[in-house]
Amino acid sequence: MAVPAGARSVFTDGACSGNPGPGGWAWALSTTEFASGHESPSTNQRMEIRAALEAVRSLSGPLLVVSDSTYVVNCFRDRWHAGWQARGWVTSAKTPVANRDLWEPLVTLVAERGDVAFQWVKGHSGHAMNDFVDQLAVEASRSAPTVTAVPAPVAEPEPDTLW
């Protein structure tokens, strides 16, 4: 995957406390230019995709999306999306593509723009910008509302009427 001329590197990451659980995503061009958000309930994979989607949506001009998610990077490097689209958003195992609601707009934006490439970086390896977006995503996941199961109300019996 060729890096477009003049591309800015945008680092992306997702985090989830539990899987599923409260999730957070983040992207950063630098330690002063970044965005993050959250979703609950979510999964780590959803947050990784969402981080890339939000970066591509938010930033104009040629981009190199740097992610520690092989799921995100391999989708574009190995063109998984082409097979999914050809099969009507079904995997080679004949199951629906997970997180299609995020993949479809990301794949469409990348194709329409034509100036976005993806690169993998090893996570938690001391890479300053990867560690920075990881911290942002974790902080965002902590601000996501926690969803807990609430027991269904028990119906009260009708009072006996003694008329």
| Helix intervals (H) in the chain | 44-58, 70-77, 80-86, 100-113, 128-143
| Annotated active-site residue in 14, 23, 24, 37 | 14
The span from the CA of 163 to the CA of 161, in Å, is 6
* DSSP single-letter state for residue 160: P
| Annotated active-site residue in 23, 24, 54, 68 | 68
| Annotated active-site residue in 37, 38, 39, 48 | 48
Catalytic: 48? yes
Catalytic: 78? no
| Annotated active-site residue in 23, 24, 38, 134 | 134
Q: How many residues does the chain have?
A: 163
Distance between alpha carbon 90 and the CA centroid of its chain, in Å? Answer: 19
Distance between alpha carbon 117 and the CA centroid of its chain, in Å? Answer: 16
Catalytic: 127? no
| Annotated active-site residue in 6, 114, 124, 156 | 124
Q: Are 100 and 151 in contact (CB under 8 A)?
A: no
| Annotated active-site residue in 13, 37, 54, 81 | 13
Q: Tokens for 136?
A: 């942002």
The span from the CA of 148 to the CA of 125, in Å, is 34
Catalytic: 131? no
Residues serving a catalytic function are 13-14, 48, 68, 124, 134
